[in-house]
Amino acid sequence: MSEDDRAATHPPRLPPLLDAVLEIGTDLDLSTTLQRVVTRAAELTDARYGALGVLDLTGGPGPRLTELYTTGLSAGRRARLGQLPDGHTGLIGTVIDDPRPLRIADLTADPRAHGLPPGHPPMRSFLGVPIHVGHEVFGNLYLTEKRTGTFTEEDTQLLRVLAAQAGIAIGNARLYETARQRERWIEGAAAVTTALLAGGTAAHALETVAERARVLAGAAAGVILQQGPDGGLEVVAAAGPPGLVGPAGMEVLAGAAVPADSPVLGRLLAGESVCVPDPVGDPHGGPAAAHFGPVMLLPLTSGGRPIGTLALPRHRGARPYTPAERLMASQFAAHAALALVLADAQARRERLAVYEDRDRIARDLHDLVVQRLFATGLMLESTQRRAERSSREGGSGDPPEVHGRLARAVDELDATVQEVRTAIVALQQPPTDAPATLRGRVLRETGHAAAVCGFAPSVRFVGPVDALVGDPVAGHLVAALRRALAAATARAGVSRIAVTVDAAVHLADGRPGVRLTVDDGAPTASDGRVPGTTPVTWHSPL
């Protein structure tokens, strides 16, 4: 009785098979599932070595291995085997070309068993079975070196059942992994939109898109290209590890530019994505082709308007991009392009708001300066007439009234100069930024008080305030100003608030200091002040 006949008369090893089927279907992680399949296949058939090769049917003229899961090989021996087989030669190529079970008793006597790399362990018996996921071939199971003779028909049937169940488990794991990837890409697109709309420069926006896409795609770098003066695409932003985007690495990334005569350029400008499995074999790969593996080029377009191109090259020898990855990356690129357009529109609106605010400040400054100068001119003209009349009447010297009017005119001119300086500081301070100088911080506090009391307090700075007053004195001064303004706005009948910051004073002990005065008093007929509104004065040494 032959071995196959004995296998047919004996019952199959159902309990271990059922255990294996249950085990490979308990995890939704694809890599874990594939490793369990090859491990349990080797245990069921008593094989010393096992391998599961994952096929890529879309990356070129023929199928090729993209991943290989093994059992029975140590990590050192696996590393010595080098790169994956090409999938077109030897027994691996035979099973790929003809996806049917293949059983060989002695590999050394089979002419198809050739092309083994140096360091490959010696093998005699062989069993190969394809794994189908739906209607497509996902990969192949390869088992060699059965410990107890050669592989039997029972081993083939067991492996076929295991491969069929593995196909179902792999299909579920792929669906789960695709859903997880789609979730990550959607979250990444939302994060990019949030980051771009939060503000920043155009260069920072492009780097944000490149970095997020690099992480999501598992790429070695993320590169943004835009059309240059010569018509080709040149690198304008890049993201990646520090060694890659540093001075030396940028020279490599600069070689990723797409020349104007490249056939890829027309496809990108037409809004079509391009995936190159191996840039080294591409005639237009450029100097950067030797440093990277599979690359994906995605157009960034919004409303038919090209913004740029997102390039995602992987490391040399990495697996090619899958159709699902290309689809999700294309959707991310479309979302990122829209976010870039929205961020640019928002930045334009913010700049327009700044210009409008500065126009308002300029109009207010114009009205204030004109009114004060006109009033001062009238005062000086009246003083001149009084002086002339006094001279005609034979008076000696200038009367005290003339001196008082001249003093008030000088004060008005000084106040006008201070108002102009205050307006200049307000123009120099972007409205969306927190003020960094003491002048800007004081103006911010008085602006808040103006919103409460309904009128703008006058502010006067004496001396080089920003140069002389540093932290923490500036912080204490602003805190004192905030308390004084709160007390002033809480009182009824306050119609004006005058704030003075004087950095040209000397304290009682002779040390230089700064003095803050907040005056909300209004003159009355009796003593010239409203009771309880004595100016608040705060001072500190510098």
CATH number assigned to the domain comprising residue 314: 3.30.450.40
Q: Do 352 and 458 fall into the same domain?
A: no
Q: Do 424 and 453 fall into the same domain?
A: no
Query: How many beta carbons lie within 10 A of that of residue 402, not counting itself?
Result: 16
Q: Do 441 and 423 fall into the same domain?
A: no
The pLDDT confidence band at residue 531, using thresholds 50, 70 and 90, is: very low
418 touches 460 (CB < 8 A): yes
* Per-residue pLDDT at 426: 59
- Rounded to a whole number, what is the largest CA-CA distance in the chain? 153
- With H, G, I as helix, E, B as strand and everything else as coil, classify residue 340: helix
Q: Do 28 and 135 fall into the same domain?
A: yes
Query: How far apart are alpha carbons 44 and 15 in whole angstroms?
Result: 10
Domain endpoint, select from 411, 432, 453: 432
* Per-residue pLDDT at 539: 78
The pLDDT confidence band at residue 8, using thresholds 50, 70 and 90, is: very low
Domain endpoint, select from 269, 288, 321: 321
* Per-residue pLDDT at 60: 56
pTM for this prediction: 0.51
SS3 content of the chain, % helix, strand, coil (to 5): 50, 20, 30
Let me know if residue 185 belongs to a domain. no
Residue 460 identity: R
Q: Do 425 and 443 fall into the same domain?
A: no
The pLDDT confidence band at residue 283, using thresholds 50, 70 and 90, is: low
* Per-residue pLDDT at 378: 75
CA quadruple 345, 350, 354, 360: dihedral, nearest 10: 90
Phi-psi region of 445 (alpha: psi -120 to 50; beta: other; left: phi over 0): alpha
Is the pLDDT reported for residue 466 higher than 80? yes
* Per-residue pLDDT at 218: 87
Q: Do 16 and 42 fall into the same domain?
A: yes
Let me know if residue 327 belongs to a domain. no
> What digits encode the pLDDT tens for the residues 239-275?
877 656 554 455 556 556 777 777 777 788 788 888 8
Q: Alpha-carbon torsion 40, 41, 46, 52, what sign?
A: negative
Percent of the chain with pLDDT over 70: 72
Let me know if residue 218 belongs to a domain. yes
Average pLDDT over residues 33-47: 87
> What digits encode the pLDDT tens for the residues 153-173?
888 888 888 888 888 888 888
Q: Greater confidence, 324 or 83?
A: 324
Question: Which residue range(s) make up the domain with 307?
Answer: 214-321
Let me know if residue 482 belongs to a domain. yes
Let me know if residue 123 belongs to a domain. yes
Q: For every residue of 35-100, which 3-state class applies, written as one string?
A: HHHHHHHHHHHCEEEEEEEEEECCCCCCCEEEEEEEECCCHHHHHHCCCCCCCCCHHHHHHHHCCC
Let me know if residue 484 belongs to a domain. yes
* Per-residue pLDDT at 315: 83
Let me know if residue 184 belongs to a domain. no
Query: How far apart are alpha carbons 139 and 53 in whole angstroms?
Result: 5
Query: How many beta carbons lie within 10 A of that of residue 363, not counting itself?
Result: 10
Let me know if residue 370 belongs to a domain. yes
Q: Greater confidence, 424 or 481?
A: 481
Q: Do 303 and 396 fall into the same domain?
A: no
**Helix H or strand E encompassing 372:** helix 323-392
Q: Do 361 and 281 fall into the same domain?
A: no
CATH number, domain with residue 541: 3.30.565.10
Residues 6+ apart with CB under 8 A from 158: 12, 13, 17, 44, 45
Domain endpoint, select from 432, 465, 488: 432
What phi and psi, each to the nearest 5 degrees, are found at residue 537?
-120, 130
Give start and end residues of each alpha helix (H) in 393-469. Answer: 400-428, 438-453, 465-468
Tokens 């199971």 correspond to what residue?
141
249 touches 264 (CB < 8 A): no
Domain count, the chain: 4
Q: Do 375 and 404 fall into the same domain?
A: yes
Q: Do 51 and 143 fall into the same domain?
A: yes
Q: Do 36 and 151 fall into the same domain?
A: yes
